[in-house]
């Protein structure tokens, strides 16, 4: 097990190092998320719809699109110079490749979200002071779910000609349940409801993560083997 | 170039079963219109039920089988399982489309709206998109074994997503419960209606079998032809 973890960490470290050296991916994804927020701000009438009513939907729609853009690049790195063949030939388990890619994607998507959240507070004037730990927990749970499934799918779509289009088509239906859970929990949290009011949604998100992470790790060999 | 005759039997048999199924479907409608009482509150609109509910049954049967066969494929790696799953997806999507079109036609006069985000409707719509994506992915891949493995992964994940969609949409909707829920097993269903409904379920199953047989036969023939081209 420690071998798997070590290989996974090495792989994630390699991906993130590449990412931080060029910085193109992370900056573009964060900019994209910021622009989605701006679009949302202008696609409603601020005099009739209050910020707080719209806030959870805006936040989660933005996170969804941001994650999508971020996930698209996960396996693009490996396409050049047949890097993926090298990865496949490496004496590490398929679970280690999955775990490594998952960790790198999680860090990457979390960074995009970390840039989006302050902008969201700024643009939509939402007071998160008391709700911040809750929001972070919900975001973490939902992001693990998105990224867990997204990592498998992005490994598949990179083999097709229309990867950028294929990923959202495949992934969005799978994002709907965690999206509902996250948006509902956020709504309740921002309305100042007690934890017991949305603990069910948190459990739902946790079960989704557990089931889909396990399944993804189990079937990942089918995606990478020749 | 002779690709053999494998698959021909399935196509012929499937066409025969489909023809019988279509005739029986006409029979179900004669039964539904002439020998089944008109529902007192919904009137004639309820007759679409005999097409809608069986289509739903066949679609779920189709997608359920895809999920199970996908697991088997990853285990046994038999290309025939993949071809069957792909055929079942296509047929399931056709039934799903019937369900998604007859539903709103019924819902407009009865519920007063074409569409509502009720758990069952949402689930059907998302399943439709998942398996449409399944076909889109297949079309975008050229390597055969890759296509089969990726399809199996989507098939399994799609099946596992069903309870999550259902639970989430159900909870999402608890604030606004639907006043009318379709319950085919409602004990108050008159015996004539139940009989017609059961007949329609049988017919839909028959049509599913017929359509899948034809599609599977065609898939086998295409597979063999590609194989022969590859060798020559």
Contact A204 B171 (CB under 8 A): yes
Is A206's pLDDT higher than 90? yes
The predicted model gives B17-24 an average pLDDT of 94
pLDDT of residue B157: 94
Check residue A9 and give its pLDDT: 92
CB atoms B140 and A166 under 8 Å: yes
Domain residues for A56?
Answer: 2-224
Separation between Cα atoms, residue B151 and residue B132, nearest integer Å: 12
Examine the pLDDT at B1 and tell me if it is beyond 80.
no
Q: Is the pLDDT of residue B141 over 50?
A: yes
- The pLDDT > 70 percentage for chain A reads 100
Give chain A's radius of gyration (CA, Å). Answer: 18
In angstroms, the CA A62 to CA A40 distance is 9
Measured CA to CA in angstroms, residue A5 lies from A2, A84, A214, B44 at distances of: 5, 19, 15, 64
pLDDT on residue B3: 56
- The secondary element (H helix, E strand) that includes residue A83 is helix A83-89
**pLDDT for B179:** 41
Summary mean pLDDT of chain A = 88
What does the alpha-carbon distance between residue B63 and residue B59 come to, in Å, rounded to a whole number? Answer: 6
Mean pLDDT of B149-166: 91
Flag whether pLDDT at B178 surpasses 70.
Answer: no
Q: A156 and B161: CB-CB below 8 Å?
A: no
pLDDT of residue B153: 95
Beta strands in A41-167 (DSSP E): none
pLDDT at residue B184, rounded to an integer: 46
Cα B51 to the center of its chain, rounded Å: 12
Residue B23 confidence (pLDDT) above 50: yes
**Is the minimum CB–CB distance between A176 and chain B shorter than 8 Å?**
yes
Burial classification of residue A73, based on how many CB atoms lie within 10 Å of its CB (0-12 exposed, 13-18 middle, 19 or more buried): buried
- Nearest chain B residue to A149 by CA: give it: B157
**Triad B65, B68, B71: Cα angle to 5°:** 145
Q: What is the pLDDT of residues B72-105, one digit of tens each?
A: 999 999 999 999 999 999 999 999 999 999 988 8
- Per-residue pLDDT at B181: 43
Contact A154, A177 (CB under 8 A): no
Give the count of domains, chain A. 1
Among A186, A183, A147, residue whose Cα is nearest residue A167: A147
pLDDT at A196: 83
The DSSP letter of residue A90 is S
Inspect the interface and report whether the beta carbons of A176 and B156 lie closer than 8 Å.
Answer: no
Strongest mean pLDDT among A85-89, A148-152, A196-200, B33-37: A148-152
pLDDT over 60 (residue B185) = no
- Ordered domains of chain B (ranges, CATH): 8-179+186-231 (1.20.120)
Residue in B21, B59, B35 with CA at minimum distance from that of residue B194: B35
Check whether A62 has a pLDDT greater than 80.
yes
The mean-pLDDT minimum among A28-42, B90-104, B203-217 falls in A28-42
- Indicate yes or no: CB of B136 within 8 angstroms of CB of A180: no
Q: Which residue in chain A has the smallest CA separation from B158? A: A174
The residues pairing with B43 across neighbouring beta strands, listed in sequence order, are B39
Specify the residue for token string 């950028």.
Answer: A164
Q: Chain A partners of B126 at a C-beta cutoff of 8 Å?
A: 173, 176
Percent of chain A as helix, strand, coil, to the nearest 5 = 85, 0, 15
Quote the mean pLDDT of chain B: 86
- Please, which pLDDT band fits residue B188 given cuts at 50, 70 and 90? low
The ipTM value here is 0.88
Of the two residues A159 and B4, the one the predictor is more confident about is: A159
Task: Please write the tens of the pLDDT for every residue from A170-188.
Answer: 999 999 999 989 998 998 8
Percent of chain A with pLDDT over 90: 47
Q: What is the C-alpha to C-alpha distance for residues B66 and B52, in angstroms, rounded to an integer?
A: 21
pLDDT reported for residue A198: 86
* pLDDT at A117 (0 to 100): 92
Nearest beta carbon to residue B141 from set A159, A173, A181: A159
Average of per-residue pLDDT across A176-201 = 88
**B31-52 confidence digits (pLDDT tens):** 888 877 777 777 777 788 888 8
CB within 8 Å: A212 and B160: yes
Contact by Cβ (8 Å): B76, B149: no
Residue B168 has its nearest CB partner, among A180, A212, A225, at A180
Half-sphere exposure of A203 (CA within 13 A, CB side): 8
Interface of A with B in 113-172 (CB under 8 A): 149, 152, 156-157, 159-162, 166, 169-170, 172
- Rounded to 5 degrees, φ, ψ at B39 are -65, 135
- Secondary structure of residue B39 in the 3-state scheme: strand
List of chain B residues whose C-beta atoms are within 8 Å of the C-beta of residue A199: none
A180: contact with B, CB 8 A cutoff: yes
Nearest CA to CA, how far is B194 from chain A (Å)? 35
**B195: its two tokens:** 């009989």
How confident is the model at residue B182, as a pLDDT? 47
Mean pLDDT across B131-147: 92
């Amino acid at each position: 097990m420690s071998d798997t973890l070590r290989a996974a960490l090495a792989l994630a470290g390699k991906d993130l190092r590449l990412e931080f050296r060029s910085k193109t991916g992370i900056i573009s994804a964060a900019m994209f998320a910021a622009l989605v927020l701006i679009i949302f701000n202008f696609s409603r009438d601020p005099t009739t719809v209050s910020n707080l009513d719209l806030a959870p939907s805006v936040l989660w729609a933005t996170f969804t699109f941001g994650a999508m853009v971020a996930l698209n690049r996960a396996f693009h790195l490996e396409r050049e110079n047949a890097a993926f063949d090298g990865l496949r030939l490496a004496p590490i388990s398929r679970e280690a490749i999955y775990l490594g890619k998952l960790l790198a994607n999680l860090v990457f998507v979390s960074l995009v979200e970390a840039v989006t959240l302050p902008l969201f507070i700024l643009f939509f004037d939402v007071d998160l002071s008391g709700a911040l730990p809750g929001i972070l927990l919900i975001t973490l749970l939902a992001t693990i779910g998105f990224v867990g499934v997204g990592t498998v799918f992005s490994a598949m779509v990179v083999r097709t000609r229309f990867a950028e289009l294929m990923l959202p088509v495949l992934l969005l239906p799978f994002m709907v349940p965690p999206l509902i859970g996250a948006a509902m929990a956020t709504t309740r949290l921002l309305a100042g409801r007690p934890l017991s009011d949305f603990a069910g949604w948190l459990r739902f998100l946790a079960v989704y993560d557990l089931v889909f992470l396990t399944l993804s790790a189990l079937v990942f060999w089918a995606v990478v083997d020749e | 170039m002779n690709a053999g005759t494998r698959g021909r039997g399935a196509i012929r048999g499937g066409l025969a079963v489909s023809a019988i199924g279509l005739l029986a479907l006409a029979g179900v409608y004669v039964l539904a219109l002439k020998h089944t009482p008109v529902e007192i509150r919904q009137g004639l609109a309820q007759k679409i039920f005999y097409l809608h509910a069986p289509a739903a049954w066949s679609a779920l049967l189709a997608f359920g089988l895809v999920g199970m066969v996908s697991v088997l494929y990853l285990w046994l790696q038999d290309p025939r399982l993949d071809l069957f799953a792909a055929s079942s997806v296509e047929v399931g999507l056709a039934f799903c489309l019937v369900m998604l079109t007859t539903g709103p036609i019924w819902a407009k006069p009865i519920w007063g709206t074409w569409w509502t985000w009720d758990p069952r409707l949402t689930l059907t719509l998302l399943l439709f998109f998942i398996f449409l994506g399944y076909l889109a992915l297949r079309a975008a891949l050229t390597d055969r074994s890759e296509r089969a493995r990726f399809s199996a992964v989507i098939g399994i994940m799609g099946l596992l997503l069903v309870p999550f969609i259902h639970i989430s949409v159900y909870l999402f909707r608890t604030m606004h419960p639907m006043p009318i829920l379709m319950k085919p097993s409602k004990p108050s269903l008159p015996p004539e209606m139940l009989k017609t409904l059961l007949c329609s379920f049988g017919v839909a199953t028959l049509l599913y079998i017929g359509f899948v047989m034809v599609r599977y036969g065609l898939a086998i023939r295409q597979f063999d032809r590609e194989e022969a081209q590859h060798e020559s």
